[in-house]
Structure 1
Amino acid sequence: MNYKNSTHLAQNHEGLHEKFDLKAYLRRYLHYWYLFFLTIPLCLGAAYLYLIITQPTYISQTTLLIKDNKTQVGPEETIMKEMAQFNGNKVLENEIGILKSQLLMGMVVKQLNLDISFRAKEGLKTIDLYGQSPIKIDAQIVTEYAYAHPLIINTDSAGFFRVNNGSEYYRLGSQIRTAWGLFFVAKGLPSAYPEVEVQFHNPQALTRGMLGRLTVGVLYPQSTLLELSFEDTSVQKSKDILNKLLDVYVQSSLNDKNSEASNTLKFIESRLGLITGELSEVEKDVEVYKKSKGLTDISAESQLFLENIKENDSKLNEIETKIKVLESVDHYIQNAGDGAPAPATYMIDDPILVSLLTKFNDLSLQRERYARITQVENPLFETVNTQMDQTRQAIQENVQNLKRGMAATKQNLSGINTKFSSGLSSIPKKEREYVGIKRQQTIKENLYLYLLQKREETALAYASTVTDSRLIDAPISSYMPVKPKRSVIWLGAGLAGLVIPLILINLIFMLNSTVQNREEVERITHTSILAEIGMMKGRGRNPAESIIKVTSRSAVAEQFRALRTNLQYMGDGSCRTIMLTSSISSEGKSFISINLAVSLASSDKRVILIGLDLRKPSLHNRLEITNKKGASNYLVGQKNLDELIQPSGLHPQFDVLSCGPLPPNPSELLSNGRLPELIAELRQRYDYILIDSPPYGLVTDAALISEHVDATLYVVRFNHTLLDHLKHIKELQRTKRFANLSLIYNGVDYAFGYGYVYGSGGNAYGYHTEDVQDTGFGFKTLKKLTGMF
């Protein structure tokens, strides 16, 4: 097919649905096979370590009977009433809620001292020392620091201990103060663990956590039996918690039933204690009352109140007079100049206000003198007015401050006056209270006898109450742990070892913004791919290793032969001057241009390769030739062509014109008119002219060269060219900027499952031989053994 037809097919590629290639899809993941070999052992090892260090959890269960509280139904009761009394669902739900309440569990935590736990290391495990701890702790004060940090206590056989491996020793039974708080450390049970880790728990948080491990449910439908289950790493602790929970539940039920009698008894006991004390002290109440009220002689006290009130009234009158004076000053200042009389200053004891008033009066007199002798527009007159305004404002602020202070003083004096007046009026009341105290003795004796009688009656009613629940089975624990479930852990670890690499691989694919397959290149660019070049195996850092031998039978060599064949279908078949460019560097232009030239030369064609990358040339390094002279010399007119052309050393029909010395102005040098002369002269000598140009996406040199060539090969490299760069190729194809533009898909790694495998299917590689032999049992050997990929 010709170039136009291939372009047309590429433009309609979006409408085609390619057949799904399962092998290619799986090959993408198989390329990262080492991730599976890495994560699966890690996950299984993590599962093994988790099972070793995790304490097994056991479950304890018990059964509780809730008695039916329905009364005997007489003949006069209706059938509906009997049914209502028989229905106990709501009662059971209430009891379940009570059993799972934070109040009851909090009481369990407190009574069993569960807010302090003791643990010890046993290999990699941490075991709970509940009921077998070598120490006991009675905490007086626990700090917030203690809730977040465990305390390590080391004991010895001599009865001493250390805190956190410190150097100071304490005797068991002594009190210590640390950052964890204040507590006693006493000797516990004999134990084989000298180092104990003490963890202080926040009671509220511990209670919520324990409720999460408690399960309460109805054992059988239509029954009032409740089954209680509790999970814990210690079998004995789980049993003790259930037993204590039932104890506090029964006690709470009794307390609820006897709440009225209990409150009555408490009230009677408190009143009896109070009355008993009052009876023993009633003779002393008169003395205490007189001392508390300060009573000696009521008549003399009344005279003292009157004298104090008189003195206070004198001060209050003085303050009111000063306030009136300040009001007159304020009135004068606001109406100055309207004939208002000047206030008297002899009662003003504030020196600042006196000086301000004196200054204001002087300015007022001065203003009147200027008014008589000058015009109003006189600057002196304006200056005096400005000074008077400033002084008036200062006087008003000072007056307001003084008035606020005097108002506070007046309020204080008024309050003192009121206190004295109320004290004077309370003298008769004190006499009545004094007489009333004497009557308290008879009243309290009668009340004491009445309370004694009621206490006995309430105590009898309180003792007659019984509980409405009964324990059926004592707590029983499971022999096998319920957590962790070993089979689930192993299965989850194995699945995680498979899923984690899949997630990582998909993330790599999703975050990769480079070209990954041939289809997306054709879909985005709407340009045909003339050839596909695979990744050359055994390619090292030596540039000579990237040159394919003429006699090579590798897959990459066959791909270059196919590229050589496809050149005759470009355009009208007469394209002999071909430029190779790309979007960015390192996409393989020099690699393809050299090997394509070798392939053309091996078909008995005279070929010359021109290095026109005048900015960053690499052609001479790959061919290991000198770059002291080259195309730049010809473009500046320094030498003739025969002196610049060098043999490639790879084939007699293959010559090279390197770029030569780097010029300071490459773009200007390419557009000076010498380039078409160079190409015209070379057309007469060679069958094919290949031009290695700079990347089009970085500089404009390739655009200048494209005006003088027959066709352009645009190199796109797998996993290197950005997808955004393909949009530029699409624009070049749309605008026909480059003549006979075709793409070369370079560097395809078929281990990824991308591109087209050369031949028919993956086994087609067996038709070729590789130049670099794979030694050892590698991934290639694994593929051959499986026969799948």
Structure 2
Amino acid sequence: MSARPESLIERAARVYDFNAHLRGRADAPVEAVAVEEPVAARVQDAAPTGTLAAIPAEFLSDSDDDGLDEWIAPPSDVAMIDRTMLAEMGMLVPGAPVGALAEEFRLVKRQLLLTARIVAEGPLRQRARTILVGSGKPGEGKTFCAINLAISLAAERDVEILLVDADFAKPDVLARLGVDGEHTGLLDILADARIDPEACVIRTDVPQLSLLAAGKRSHSDTELLASARTGEVLDRLLAANPKRIIVFDSPPALAASPASVLALLVGQVMLVVRADRTTEGDVQEAVQLLDGCDEIHLVLNAVSYEPGRGRFGSYYGRGE
């Protein structure tokens, strides 16, 4: 008897490990999650359903004889985003049902997109399509927010997102997305004018989302960022794709100097403020260091949930 052909789910399971959440990572730490609203507990509860994320349409062919769409392996130069890992960390999962966290980031990105239009009318022009996500001190959730913001923005119809890991001392963006290996990144590009920035952009299997690694660590990271080469690289990346929005995950402003240099180059800053940790003095000092950018937005993270507030928790069935 000949073996039956694999189903779509069986073929997809070789790429997306749908059963990983059953093995579980009970001891894995989950970064605090609230963005203007406490969603940490609700997102953790929703994580298992989020692992069954939609398979990108570009990797499905027309139906075969059994009536199912056929799985097509993505090109070798396309990085596979680990949706199971995202779900286990309580983060947005591309293609998953809309929940409270997705709605919070919809509000955040809408304000950023509206501001970008205004900034584009001024002297920055195409630099209006650049956003720096940072914090005052480590542990306030800026990488968590940068990744979620990029995933949320990538769901827009008319934009393409380039998420840049600019936390050179502790790069973590690619690892959190499950992208392995060493990649030529921003510091390498800045240090060597022969490197084509566009050639270093990493395509992913999330439609409209690409990545740029931090690059080889250097003791001259701030000086490289302060050079004229940085502006040239940014302008080349923006000019290469008129729909592109660049999101930087920067180092904490009070812990490393590159953040203040990057703030001079971008259209907007999204400063993550952790409600249970960041002091008013920390916020004021961070804003002063980042005031090279005229548009600074504060996003409150890790807010305690208050039943009856009437935000997205109860609407999506997680009001208790």
TM bin (shorter chain): 0.5 to 0.7
In structure 1, C-alpha distance between the alignment counterparts of 2:87 and 2:228, rounded to whole Å: 34
Change (3 A) 1:704 1:573: closer
What's the counterpart of residue 579 of structure 1?
Answer: 132
* 1:560 and 2:105 aligned: yes
Give the drift of 1:654: 0.4
- Tell me how large the CA RMSD over aligned residues is: 2.8
- How far apart are 1:672 and its partner, in Å? 2.6
Alignment partners' CA distance in 2, 1:681 and 1:545: 36
Q: 1:678 to 1:765 in 2, by over 3 A?
A: same
Give 1:664 deviation, angstroms.
2.5
1:716 maps to which residue? 273
- The equivalences for 1:585-604 within 5 A come to 585-604=138-157
Contact map agreement 1:543 1:621 (CA 8 A) in 2 = no
8 Å Cα contact 1:533/1:560 also seen in 2: no
Instruction: Note the residue ranges of structure 2 that are not aligned, 5 or more in a row.
Output: 1-33, 48-83, 121-127
Counterpart of 2:92 (choices 537, 541, 548) is 548
TM-score of the superposition, structure 2-length normalised? Answer: 0.65
Cα deviation per residue 1:552-602 (whole Å; 9 max; x = unaligned)?
321111101111211133262533211111111121111111111111111
Give the whole-Å Cα distance in 2 for the aligned partners of 1:598 and 1:610: 13
How many Å separate the matches in 2 of 1:576 and 1:767? 32
Q: Which moved more, 1:684-693 or 1:544-553?
A: 544-553
- Contact 1:620–1:627, Cα closer than 8 Å, also in 2: no
TM-score where L is the length of structure 1: 0.28
Deviation at 1:709, TM superposition (A): 0.6
Task: Judge conservation of contact 2:275–2:300 (CA < 8 Å) in 1.
Answer: yes
Residue ranges of structure 1 left out of the alignment (5+ in a row) = 1-517, 519-530, 771-779, 784-789
Q: Could you give the per-residue CA deviations for residues 243-278 of structure 1, whole angstroms, max 9, x where no partner exists?
A: xxxxxxxxxxxxxxxxxxxxxxxxxxxxxxxxxxxx
- Show the counterpart of 1:619: 173
Deviations, residues 351-396 of structure 1 (Å, cap 9, x unaligned): xxxxxxxxxxxxxxxxxxxxxxxxxxxxxxxxxxxxxxxxxxxxxx
Q: Which has the higher helix share?
A: 1
Structure 1 residue 731: Cα displacement: 4.1
Cα distance in structure 2, aligned partners of 1:624 and 1:577: 24
CA contact (8 A) 1:587 1:720 kept: yes
- Report the 3-state secondary structure (helix = DSSP H, G, I; strand = E; otherwise coil) of the residue aligned with 1:598: helix
**Identical pairs, percent:** 26
SS of the residue corresponding to residue 570 of structure 1 reads helix
Are positions 1:688 and 2:245 aligned together?
A: yes
Runs of 4+ that moved beyond 3 A: 539-544, 729-733
Could you tell me which of 160, 165, 174 is aligned with 1:606? Answer: 160
How far does residue 701 in structure 1 lie from its aligned partner after superposition? 0.6
Alpha-carbon offset, residue 623 of structure 1: 1.3
Secondary structure in structure 2 of the residue aligned to 1:580 = strand
The answer to whether residue 260 in structure 2 is matched with residue 703 in structure 1 is yes
- AA in 2 matched with 1:564: K
CA deviation after TM superposition for structure 1 residue 544, in Å: 5.7
- What SS does the aligned partner of 1:532 have? coil
Pairs within 5 Å for 1:656-675: 656-675=211-230
Superposed CA deviations along residues 677-696 of structure 1, whole A, max 9, x for unmatched, are 11101112143111111111
Q: Residues 739, 573 of structure 1: CA spacing in aligned structure 2 closer, same or farther, 3 A cutoff?
A: closer
1:596 to 1:724, Cα distance in 2 relative to 1, 3 A:
same
- In 2: Cα distance, 1:731 partner to 1:641 partner: 31
Q: Distance in 2 between matches of 1:730 and 1:640?
A: 33
Structure-1 residue corresponding to 2:315: 767
Matched pairs, number: 233
User: In the superposition, relative to structure 1, how do residues 713 and 614 fare at CA in structure 2: closer, same or farther (>3 Å)?
Assistant: same
Query: In structure 1, how many angstroms separate the alpha carbons of the residues matched to 2:156 and 2:312?
Result: 25
Secondary structure (helix, strand or coil) at the match of 1:642 reads: helix
Match of 2:285 among 724, 728, 731: 728
State the partner residue of 2:44. Answer: 538
CA change 1:645–1:544 in 2 (3 A) is farther
Q: 8 Å contact 1:627–1:659 — kept in the other structure?
A: no
Structure 1 residue identity aligned to 2:261: L
* Aligned residues of 2:265 and 2:293 also touching (Cα < 8 A): no
Alignment correspondent of 1:746? 301
Distance 1:544 1:569, change over 3 A: same
Cα contact 2:39–2:313 (8 A) shared by 1 = no
- Alignment partner of 2:191 out of 627, 636, 645: 636
Instruction: Specify whether residues 763 and 555 from structure 1 end up closer, same or farther in structure 2 by C-alpha distance, changes over 3 A only.
Output: closer
Deviations 1:58-114 (A, max 9, x none): xxxxxxxxxxxxxxxxxxxxxxxxxxxxxxxxxxxxxxxxxxxxxxxxxxxxxxxxx
Is the contact between residue 254 and residue 286 of structure 2 (CA under 8 Å) also seen in structure 1?
no
Contact 2:103–2:312 (8 Å) recurs in 1: no
8 Å CA contact 2:135, 2:286 repeated in 1:
no
Q: Cα offset for 1:634?
A: 0.7
Q: How has the CA–CA distance of structure 1 residues 738 and 724 changed in structure 2, closer, same or farther, with 3 Å as cutoff?
A: same
Amino acid at match of 1:538: Q
Aligned residues of 1:648 and 1:655 also touching (Cα < 8 A): yes
Query: In 2 relative to 1, CA 769–594 (structure 1 residues): closer, same or farther, beyond 3 Å?
Result: farther
1:693–1:657 distance in 2 versus 1, CA, 3 Å: same
In 1, the alpha carbon distance for the partners of 2:287 and 2:215 equals: 33
Q: Which has the higher contact order (CA 8 A, sep 6+)?
A: 2
- What code does the residue aligned with 1:641 have? P
Per-residue Cα deviation, 1:596-638 (whole angstroms, up to 9, x for no partner): 1111111121110111111111111111223432111111125
Name the SS of the counterpart of 2:302 in structure 1: strand
Deviations 1:728-777 (A, max 9, x none): 146468xx433201111112231xx4xxx7xx73485231146xxxxxxx
